[in-house]
Amino acid sequence: MIPEDNRFHSDPDGILADSEHLVDGWKVEAPDPSDRFTVARLTQLLREHERAGRGWAGASVDDVLVEVSERGLRMRENVVLRDPRGEIRAWGSVHDRAEGRMLYAHVVERGLPDDVASSCARLLFEWADEQARAVGLARGLEVQQIDTGAFADDERQHRWLESWGYRKVRTWLQMTRPVTEDESDLVPDPAEWQKDAVTIRLVRRRPDGLPDSVDLHAVHQVLEQAFRDHFNSWEETFGEFVHRLLEEPGHDWDHWWIAELANPDLEIGPIPVGALVGTVSESANGPAGSYVGYIGVLDDARGQGVAKALLNTIIADAASRDRDRVGLEVDADSPTGARGLYEAMGWRTKYVTESWHRDVPVR
């Protein structure tokens, strides 16, 4: 279950007030999500960070609210750094993602002098270390992993991460595929169709419009098992899983699919062997797209075209909704051959990101 209160330190000033990295006259505080000027400023900082790191910006207010809203703070904590004039110049965010894994993101204004920017980065790293100890202690761990990301071409971010003891551990390809109107015929009906002994269907909905809990548990179990041996996979409870995905901008129950294998034992019923969780990708300058947040197939069902069937389903669904693309992320070193499948189906790399890790002793 999701904790009612998060496991982090909620008073950044109590952690950082005496830090040697705090520039004279600057203040640290938690951002106020009800202040539209604060949210707008964080959005601006995030977009500038993206533009510097990959050449273009895509973040929106919704992306910021995922981190700082009251709902998001059940599993997150944030800090901002204000200069003597009260302007926010840097922002850090941590996410209690799963037992043993804490996500961390930091954004420092690009126009600051190098020495000031570096001091901001070191202050945020110090804050993240303390938050890692707090969440690790609450979970009863000896070591807490911090997992952060960087754009592949962001040399400033790389330099800071290396200086604080982070190590680059993985490369991710952010891929996209164009969708054409005629591809709505790729599958008979994206809501439900059959390929040999496998049925692809949306999660069932109750009369009140909410998803069937049995189907949601099936999706969670399939994805947990499918990713069990993958890089940096940490067990996530059902409550954590659903809560996190509900927060995603673009969440839509009509983008959750299950793949079921027919079972000769009719009393038991079909067996879930695959799942795909998608979202809606909004665009400020054109049509919306679809995004594959998760796709997983159980080991025993691999090699039978289940993953391709799920991918064709979201492509056909996107085409039927007049969307122009489907995006996804893939591990550049995935041992499953996923990258080859995606490229064969028309996906191409748009930009590259990296995972950087730091292990923090809790006690």
235-265 pLDDT, tens digit each? 788 988 888 888 888 899 999 999 999 877 6
Q: Do residues 108 and 138 share a domain? A: yes
d(C-alpha 116, C-alpha 113), whole Å: 5
325 with 206, same domain: the answer is yes
**Which of 165, 186, 217 marks a domain boundary?**
165
Please check whether residues 115 and 210 belong to one and the same domain.
Answer: no
Query: Is beta strand 101-108 parallel, antiparallel or unpaired with respect to 143-151?
Result: parallel
- 1 lies in some domain: no
Q: Same domain for 31 and 159?
A: yes
Q: What percent of the chain has pLDDT over 70?
A: 95
Residue 319 lies in a domain: yes
Under-50 pLDDT residues of the chain:
1-3
| Structure confidence at residue 354 (pLDDT) | 97
pTM of the model: 0.90
204: domain CATH number is 3.40.630.30
**Structural domain boundaries, residue 161:** 12-165
Domain final position from 134, 165, 196: 165
Query: Which tokens is 280 given?
Result: 């809606």
Shared domain for 62 and 39, answered yes or no, is yes
Question: Two tokens at 129?
Answer: 């270390």
**CA atoms of 339 and 341, how far apart (whole Å):** 5
Residue 115 and residue 10: Cα distance in Å, rounded?
A: 28
Q: Does any domain span residue 6?
A: no
The answer on 133 and 54 residing in a single domain is yes
User: What is the SS3 assignment for 121?
Assistant: helix
| Integer CA distances (angstroms), 117 to 22, 29, 108, 173, in order | 11, 17, 7, 28
Helix axes 238-247, 213-226, angle to 10 degrees: 100
Number of domains present in the structure of the chain: 2
Confidence (pLDDT) at 82: 97
Q: Give a yes or no: residue 119 inside a domain.
A: yes
User: What is the Cα Rg of the chain in Å?
Assistant: 22
Is the same domain home to 286 and 322?
Answer: yes
Residues 152 and 184 in one domain: no
Nearest to 106 by CA among 84, 78, 74: 78
The answer to whether residue 316 is domain-embedded is yes
Cβ atoms of 240 and 2 closer than 8 Å: yes
Which residue among 147, 165, 183 closes a domain?
Answer: 165
Looking at the structure, tell me whether residues 98 and 211 fall in a common domain: no
Task: Evaluate whether residue 88 is within a structural domain.
Answer: yes
Q: Using CA atoms, how far apart are residues 121 and 13, in angstroms rounded to an integer?
A: 16
Look at residue 360 and tell me if it is in a domain: no
Three-state secondary structure call for residue 127 = helix
Q: Are residues 113 and 206 in the same domain?
A: no
Residue 353 pLDDT: 98
Q: What is the DSSP string of 65-115?
A: HHHHSTTGGGSEEEEEEE-TTS-EEEEEEEEEEETTEEEEEEEE-TTS-HH
Kindly state whether residues 309 and 242 are assigned to the same domain. Answer: yes
**239 and 273 part of one domain:** yes
5 occurs within a structural domain: no
H or E segment and range at residue 356: strand 348-361
